[in-house]
Amino acid sequence: MGRNDDIVPPADYPLRATIRDVAARAGVSIGTASKALNASGRLRQETRDRVVAAANELGFRPNAMAQSLHRSRSMTVGVLTTDSFGRFIFPILEALEETLAGHGIAIFMCNATDDPEREQQHLDQLLGKRIDGLLVTARRMDRRPAIAVPGKSMPVIYVFSQSDDPDALCLLPDDHGGAVLAVEHLIATGRRRIAHITGPAEFEAVTLRHQGYAEALVRAGLPALPEYYLNGLWSEAWGREAVAQLFANAATAPDALFCGNDQIARGASDALRERGLSVPDDVAVVGFDNWDVMALAARPPLSSVDMNLHRLGRAAGERLIAMIGGERIRGVERLPCSLVVRPSSAPAGQTTPKQDKNS
Amino acid sequence: MGRNDDIVPPADYPLRATIRDVAARAGVSIGTASKALNASGRLRQETRDRVVAAANELGFRPNAMAQSLHRSRSMTVGVLTTDSFGRFIFPILEALEETLAGHGIAIFMCNATDDPEREQQHLDQLLGKRIDGLLVTARRMDRRPAIAVPGKSMPVIYVFSQSDDPDALCLLPDDHGGAVLAVEHLIATGRRRIAHITGPAEFEAVTLRHQGYAEALVRAGLPALPEYYLNGLWSEAWGREAVAQLFANAATAPDALFCGNDQIARGASDALRERGLSVPDDVAVVGFDNWDVMALAARPPLSSVDMNLHRLGRAAGERLIAMIGGERIRGVERLPCSLVVRPSSAPAGQTTPKQDKNS
DNA sequence: GCAGTGAAGGAAAAGGTTTTCTCAATCGCC
DNA sequence: GGCGATTGAGAAAACCTTTTCCTTCACTGC
């Protein structure tokens, strides 16, 4: 199948010991050696020991391909990303890998950044390798078309990404809930005029977080003013610009900013400082993502909503194991976010006791 | 081998078509079917077509495990990271994956963040899977001990990481050259008092970059002042603090900063602005890593040394392919960095025509 | 002394593919 | 029409394990 031709045949590899070598050295048959090594069958203890000793001496390691061929279970899953390996994918991947490794399952990594043809190639390759399951991640803006796995047989999970296949299992962070968390926190610390600066409206997450934001406000008896909701880019520059817009008129300026990500939050925080406004005394700021590089480097460090990507990755691993085991799981599962509170959203007027300023 | 017990046997998977199904449907023997599908052997064209048609109708996909078993070549390599999947590893991985995928080779991802025991487990698993090669990445501070692969047979490459095994191949960015690039650029744009703010001295990269920095200065007839070399953390906060130290005495203040990474550079740049100094008019700043999140968000955008990690990943893939093909490569290979010039290091006094200041 | 029992280990099939070897049939040529 | 050469296709081994089924052997109990 394709491009294997350009690799010349094995050079001079010392062949690995096989179970037949072990058997020969221990003076038993292959079957007996297998039983001894797998602690199965009925064998004398002395025989077992002899086989195990021979295996150790030869550095024997069973050939997983032969085992898999026999069991028709490859102990292998594929991870197919269509968003290159972005910053969000890492923690997920890390937890996933750890979870699966604990069950002896290895991961094939594939990347097909927005190239359907490469995606198909990768999928072909993975199917050829008889993966036991597939995990798909993608850019979060759009629902991605379902992966075409023949036969409906193989478990597929979309993580941090949503498919339009109703039979699929999708694992996502609870964007709505995360926004509620942030806004309720701001309200609890005494803020009343809370604006939301966020990313492009095309992202489903933007919509969900906006809804959470609005609901939390309304539930607290506060108005969700349209002029307090600003869409833009996911950048610091946009955060700065949004602050310029919001604070152009001092009379209508907010006393808290809930930002769609930490970059926006950081840009906003910088802009506030440069306007002579104190964070958090004059304006509280809460970000989203809890990306330490941003959140900790900001002055002051940013409160932020954490999507618990690690937990998401672990959950994905566990679901996948369950599905490989035969369970059928489907639907959209949203895992809770949590709020990490840092100085940028301390209660108004708490940080610097002596304080009386206004913009 | 271990934890496979907790996965129940196959549920109700519709078995994939095998070559024997294809052969039966095409009315030929298994061997003939194989030859037809692999375009090998001597067969009538009509027979080939019949077999291929049967294969398509059945959605046949050859079982890679069976193929590998036969060829004793798994078309698979392992990537073992000991630094979790850090930000630096991503671009490398991406390029590596792309390169290897082009040759039909798949990647097993393993992560053993600083845990020798997990590392050994992963290695065992990979050896069991009969990977054709291994790629190791690690935190760059220390040379890591060699991976214990039995038999000296399997190709191993350390990328973005250095092993103490003299027989190994290590692929690294040319830190020394990158520093030279940055400093020569600063000199060329008219700077004369160039300081170097960087990370912890334990990092080999810190030493190498320092050497490059010093050599470039000396070569230009400029002194490499010890008070212009500051070690600290890889953080924005340290960048700010270092600026405070360097500019405490206006008489000895530098007119350019070469920073060990973009975070330091950004912190420094912020601190300069807050001291009323203009970047680049009063002080030029050059960072390292060319991490867009930092370099582009800084005001003004930062010039930075790019380690060309993508190229590094590609090179790693190519070397690995060559080694799998039988070539023996060893030693330490350092790939060139490049300099990305942005406004933060424009020639002194060029940005704002009207200007006459001194710190 | 013999049937029956249990233990210990061997033989062989199966899993899916590739490849070599062999065999049968056809062709060209005299 | 017979001979060698060539072509097309099948049989079987090999890759490495696991597992099921058998065989052998030594006992026990009568």
- CATH code for the domain of A53: 1.10.260.40
pLDDT at residue B10, rounded to an integer:
36
pLDDT at residue B51, rounded to an integer:
95
- Per-residue pLDDT band at B349 (split at 50, 70, 90): low
C1’ D24 / CA A20, Å:
23
pLDDT at B140 over 90: no
Same domain? For A165 and A232 the reply is: no
pLDDT at residue B4, rounded to an integer:
39
Residue-wise pLDDT tens digits, A132-161: 999 999 876 667 888 878 777 789 999 998
Buried b (16+ CB within 10 A) or exposed e, B34-60: bbbbeeeeebeeebbebbbebbeebeb
Contact A325 B7 (CB under 8 A): yes
Please indicate, yes or no, if residue A34 is contained in any of the structural domains.
Answer: yes
pLDDT at A252 over 90: yes
Nearest Cα to A268, choosing from A210, A228, B302, A256?
Answer: A256
Same domain? For B182 and B301 the reply is: yes
CA distances from A27 to A58, A159, B93, B312 (A): 14, 51, 46, 50
A122 reaches B (C-beta below 8 A) = yes
Q: What value does the mean pLDDT of chain A take?
A: 90
Please indicate, yes or no, if residue A359 is contained in any of the structural domains.
Answer: no
Please indicate, yes or no, if residue A351 is contained in any of the structural domains.
Answer: no
Same domain? For B121 and B46 the reply is: no
CA distances from B18 to A25, B26, B62, B129 (A): 36, 13, 7, 22
Contact of A213 with A256, CB cutoff 8 Å = no
Please indicate, yes or no, if residue A355 is contained in any of the structural domains.
Answer: no
Which nt has its C1' nearest the CA of B130? D16
Residue closest to C12 C1′ by Cα: A31
User: In CATH, what number is assigned to the domain containing residue A146?
Assistant: 3.40.50.2300
A68 reaches B (C-beta below 8 A) = yes
- Per-residue pLDDT band at B68 (split at 50, 70, 90): very high
Most confident of B135-149, B162-176, B292-306: B292-306
pLDDT at A171 over 70: yes
| DSSP H or E stretch at residue B98 | helix B89-101
Which nt has its C1' nearest the CA of A63? D16
Same domain? For B195 and B155 the reply is: no
- Per-residue pLDDT band at B346 (split at 50, 70, 90): confident
Contact A103 B325 (CB under 8 A): no
Kindly state the average pLDDT of the residues A245-271. 97
Scanning B217-236 for CB atoms below 8 A from A yields: 235-236
Number of separate domains in chain B: 3
Chain D nucleotides covered by protein, CB below 7 Å: 7-21
Please indicate, yes or no, if residue B331 is contained in any of the structural domains.
Answer: yes
Q: What value does the mean pLDDT of chain B take?
A: 90
DSSP at B220: T
Contact of B127 with B151, CB cutoff 8 Å = no
pLDDT at residue B355, rounded to an integer:
41
CB proximity B72–strand D (7 Å threshold): yes
CA distances from A160 to A114, A342, B58 (A): 16, 26, 33
Residues 6+ apart with CB under 8 A from B131: B74, B76, B77, B78, B108, B154
Same domain? For A257 and A289 the reply is: yes
Domain that holds residue A31: 3-62
User: Which residue(s) pair with B76 in the sheet?
Assistant: B106
Contact of B23 with B43, CB cutoff 8 Å = no
Please indicate, yes or no, if residue B142 is contained in any of the structural domains.
Answer: yes
B125 reaches A (C-beta below 8 A) = yes
Please indicate, yes or no, if residue A353 is contained in any of the structural domains.
Answer: no
CB proximity B24–strand D (7 Å threshold): no
**Cα-atom radius of gyration of chain B, to the nearest Å?**
28
- Residue A127: list chain B partners with CB under 8 A: 61
Q: Tell me the C-alpha distance between A231 and A290, whole Å.
A: 20
E-state strands within chain A: 76-81, 106-111, 133-137, 156-159, 169-173, 194-198, 229-231, 256-259, 284-288, 303-306, 331-335, 338-340
| Burial grade of A148 (CB within 10 A; 0-12, 13-18, 19 or more) | exposed
pLDDT at residue B1, rounded to an integer:
38
Residue-wise pLDDT tens digits, B202-227: 999 999 999 999 999 999 999 999 99
pLDDT at residue A9, rounded to an integer:
35
